[in-house]
Structure 1
Amino acid sequence: MRISEFRITRFQFARDRVIGDSQVRADDVNIAALELIADTGAVGLGFIQTLFFPLPDQAEIERVFRSEVWPGLEGQPPAGLVHRVGRPRGGNQRAYTLPFHEALQVALWDLAAKQVNLPLHKLLGSRRDKVEAYASGLDFHLSDDEFARFFAHADAIGYRAFKIKVGSPDFDWDLNRLKILKEVVRKDALVMIDSNEAWGAKEALVKLTAIRDAGHDLLWVEDPILRTDYAGLRMLKDAANWTLINSGEYLDASGKRLLMEADATDILNVHGQVTDVMRIGWLAADRGIPVSLGNTFLEVGIHAACALPEVQWLEYSFQNFDHLVDQPVEIRDGWAYAPDRPGHGLVLNETARREWVRPNLLPRSELGEAPFNPRVASALRAA
C-alpha cells in the first residue's frame, strides 16, 4: 500500500452551545477533513481543526498542504510513516503552517490498520474494546440553568463521572457551580474540575482546600496552574493529598516527558495524536503513571484508550460533530466502545460532504443553524 492522492474538504458551522473555559470561548466549528488515498483505493481520514479562528479557504489549505506536507507522503507506505522517528534541528523544528499534525497521524494510522484489516485499537495492542467515559460540559459560558440541565441530562443517560470548568475571578462562582452539580447528579457521582491554568500554585492549594472544606470531594483537578510550573505542580501533588493532579494537556510529547520526570502529576492527560500518544503512553506505563484521554475529535482517542494499560477515563463533551461521519463512536450508559471496523472506523459522510462543505471562509453571521446533535438535544432544547 502506497499513498497516491489526497483530498481536503473544508467545513464551517455553528455550535449548538457556546463552549469554553476560564480563558477561551468558541461558538463555531472550523475544520477540514483530510483524506489520504492509497493506490489500493483505501482512504485514511483525519480532521484539521482550529478552535478559535477560521481556517482559510479550501484552495489555500490545499496549496499549503501540497507544498509543505505532500512531498513527504506521496508514494510512501503509511505503515512505515506511522513509526518513523525524526530529529529535526534548528529551523526545521517547527509546527506546520496550518494544524495538520494530528490529522496526519490519525489518517496514516487509519490506513495502516486498514492494510492489515484490523480495528485500530487492535493494531495498537488493545486487550479491551470499551473505556468508561466522563461527561464534560466545556461549560464555563453556560448559564446556571443551562449548566444544570446539561449535567442532569448526562446523569440521566448513564454517566457517573462529571467534569466542570472552574477558574472564575469570583471564587464563589466556582463553589456555586459545584453546588449546582451536586444537586442534579447522582449521590455517588465522581467529580473533576478543570481551571485551565487560571490559578497560581499557592492559590490553587488554598482554593482546593476551600473546595474540600465546603464538602466537595474531587477525583482530580485538571491543569490547575501553568503547564511548565513543574515545581508548583509537584508541590500541589504532594500537598493536596485528598485529590489527584491531572496535567499535560497543553504539553507536546517532550513536555509530557519532562512533566513525568519532574514527578509533577498524578495523571497524564493526552489527546489525539496517535503516534505521540502511544509513545508517551508507553513511557507513562513504564513509570506507573495513569493516563486519561482528553477530548479527541469524534472520540478517535478511544483506540489509544483501549490500547494503553493505564487508562481508566475518556472525556466526552457532547459536541455537534456526529453528522460528519457515517457511524460515530458508540457511547452508551457512560461507556465508549471502540469500533470493530478496520481502521479507526470513521468514514466521512457523503451527505455532509455535499451539504456542509464551505470551501470559502464565511463570516460568523452567515453560518446559519447548528447541525442537530442527537446526543444532547433534549437538554439544549429546554434552554
Structure 2
Amino acid sequence: MVIQDIQLGRIALPLRHPFRTALRTVESIEDVVVRVVADTGEVGYGEAPPTAVITGDTLGSIECAIRDFIRPSLLGMEVEDLDGIMGRLHSCIVKNTSAKAAVDMAIYDLYGKRFGAPLYQLLGGARGELETDLTISVGPIDEMVRDSLEAVERGYRALKLKVGKEGRQDIERIAAIRSAVGPDILLRVDANQGWEAKQAVSIISALEDRGLDIDLVEQPVKAHDLAGMAYITQRVATPILADESVFSPLDAIEIIRAGAADLINIKLMKTGGIWQALKLCGIAELYGVECMIGCMLESRLSVAAAAHLAAGRSVITRCDLDGPSLCAADPYTGGPVFDGPRIVMSGDPGIGVGDIPCQSWS
C-alpha cells in the first residue's frame, strides 16, 4: 500500500455553548481535515484544529505545512513502513505539531485498514470502552453551576472546571459546584496557566482545607515555569497534571525528573500525532507516571484517533475526550461510538470514522 496523494479540506461545526478558558473564547470550530489516498483506493483521514494560543498553529500554517513540506516528503512511501514515514514527517519541518498530527492519524488510519483491524488493537488493546469527563467553561458562578448540573443530568460522572481568570475567587466557584453536584462527581480543575505559583499553592490548599476533594489540578502556571510547577507539586496533596508544559517525550522526561507534576496530559496536537505519543506513553510507563488523554476543540474525527490511543495503552488512566460532546452536531459515521461520557470502541478497521463533511478536497 503506497501513499499516492495527500489532500486538504476544512470542516466547520457549531459548539453547544461558547468554550471559555483563561486563554480564549470560541463559539464554533473550523478545522483542517486531511485525506491520505493509497494506490489501492483505500483512504485514511485526519484532522487538525488551529489552536494558536497553545500550539502556535493557525489554519493557514497547518495547510501550508502539509501542502508544501509534508506532502512532497511522504508521497510514494509504503504505509507499512511506519517508522520511515514518521521519521520523514517529523524531520521535513520543525514544530507544526498539529499539521503533523493530522497526517500521522490519517497514516495510522490507513495502517489499520491495511491489516483489517481497529487501531486500538494494534496499539495494545488494553480495553474496549472509555469514560470521558466534560469541560465546564469558566464564567459566572451561577452559570458554571447550571452547566455542571446539566452535565450530570446527561450522565457525566467527571467534570473539568475551567478557572484561572479571577484568582482566589475560583475557590468559591469550585465550592459552589461541589455543593451543587454532590460528593460522588469527580471534579478536575484546569487553570490553563492562569495562576502564579504561590497563588496556586494558596488556592489549592484552600480547596483541600474545605474538603472539596479535587481529583487533579491541571497546568496551574505558565507552560515554561517548571520551577513554579515543581514548587506547587511539592507543597500540595492534590495531584498536579502537566498539559501545556508537555509537547514532546523530552518534555515529559524533564518534568518527571524535576518533580514538576504528578501526571502527564497527552494531546495528539501537541505531540504531533500517535507515533510520538506512543513514545511519551513508554516514558510514563518507565517512570510509573499515569497519563490523561486530552484534546483541543476537535470533532469526532480526530478525537476518535485519541480514543484509539487511550484504549490501546493502560498507562492512560483518565480521559478528557469531550470534543464531540461540545459540538452541536456530529456528521460522521463509523469508528468509536461517543455516547455521552461513554466511548465504546468499534470493530471498524483503522480509526474507522468516515463520511467526512468536506465540500472539496485540494
Same fold by TM-score greater than 0.5: yes
| One-letter amino acid of the counterpart of residue 248, structure 1 | D
Q: Which residue number in structure 1 is paired with residue 151 of structure 2?
A: 154
Residues 112-139 of structure 1 show CA distances to partners (whole Å, capped at 9, x for unaligned) of 11111110100111221112211222x0
Change (3 A) 1:147 1:79: farther
Question: What SS does structure 2 have at the residue aligned with 1:9?
Answer: strand
Q: Which residue number in structure 2 is paired with residue 303 of structure 1?
A: 308
2:176 is equivalent to residue 180 of structure 1: yes
Change (3 A) 1:120 1:29: same
Q: Which residue number in structure 2 is paired with residue 327 of structure 1?
A: 334
Mapping 1:58-207, distance limit 5 Å: 65-82=66-83, 86=87, 94-96=94-96, 99-137=98-136, 139-140=137-138, 142-172=139-169, 174-207=170-203
| One-letter amino acid of the counterpart of residue 50, structure 2 | T
| One-letter amino acid of the counterpart of residue 167, structure 1 | G
Q: Which residue number in structure 1 is paired with residue 207 of structure 2?
A: 211
Question: What SS does structure 1 have at the residue aligned with 2:81?
Answer: helix
**TM-score after normalising by structure 2:** 0.86
| One-letter amino acid of the counterpart of residue 75, structure 1 | G
Structure 2: distance between partners of 1:63 and 1:266: 37
Change (3 A) 1:128 1:26: same
Question: What SS does structure 1 have at the residue aligned with 2:113?
Answer: helix
Q: Which residue number in structure 2 is paired with residue 234 of structure 1?
A: 230
RMSD in angstroms over aligned alpha carbons?
Answer: 2.8
Question: What SS does structure 1 have at the residue aligned with 2:133?
Answer: strand
Structure 1: distance between partners of 2:62 and 2:213: 46
Structure 1: distance between partners of 2:116 and 2:335: 19
For the 8 Å contact 1:132–1:312, the answer to whether it is kept is no
Residues 201-227 of structure 1 show CA distances to partners (whole Å, capped at 9, x for unaligned) of 111111111222233111100001122
Structure 2: distance between partners of 1:5 and 1:147: 46
Change (3 A) 1:63 1:54: closer
Structure 2: distance between partners of 1:358 and 1:125: 33
1:36 CA displacement = 0.1
Q: Which moved more, 1:321-330 or 1:20-29?
A: 321-330
1:281 CA displacement = 0.4
2:51 is equivalent to residue 51 of structure 1: yes
Q: Which moved more, 1:199-208 or 1:15-24?
A: 15-24
Question: What SS does structure 1 have at the residue aligned with 2:80?
Answer: helix
Q: Which moved more, 1:229-238 or 1:127-136?
A: 229-238
Change (3 A) 1:61 1:232: closer
2:351 is equivalent to residue 344 of structure 1: yes
Q: Which residue number in structure 1 is paired with residue 258 of structure 2?
A: 262
Residues 264-286 of structure 1 show CA distances to partners (whole Å, capped at 9, x for unaligned) of 21111001221111111011001
1:245 CA displacement = 0.6
For the 8 Å contact 1:82–1:108, the answer to whether it is kept is no
1:84 CA displacement = 5.1
| One-letter amino acid of the counterpart of residue 119, structure 2 | L
For the 8 Å contact 2:337–2:344, the answer to whether it is kept is yes
Q: Which residue number in structure 2 is paired with residue 373 of structure 1?
A: none
Residues 31-65 of structure 1 show CA distances to partners (whole Å, capped at 9, x for unaligned) of 12100010111111001321369634xxx976763
Q: 2:219 aligns with which of 216, 223, 228?
A: 223
For the 8 Å contact 1:290–1:310, the answer to whether it is kept is yes
Question: What SS does structure 1 have at the residue aligned with 2:206?
Answer: helix
Mark the structure with the bigger radius of gyration.
1
1:328 CA displacement = 6.0
Question: What SS does structure 1 have at the residue aligned with 2:130?
Answer: strand
| One-letter amino acid of the counterpart of residue 348, structure 2 | R
1:145 CA displacement = 4.3
Change (3 A) 1:279 1:168: same
Q: Which residue number in structure 2 is paired with residue 379 of structure 1?
A: none
Q: Which residue number in structure 1 is paired with residue 10 of structure 2?
A: 10
Change (3 A) 1:62 1:158: closer
Q: Which residue number in structure 2 is paired with residue 381 of structure 1?
A: none
For the 8 Å contact 1:45–1:348, the answer to whether it is kept is no
For the 8 Å contact 2:310–2:316, the answer to whether it is kept is yes
Mapping 1:24-43, distance limit 5 Å: 24-43=24-43
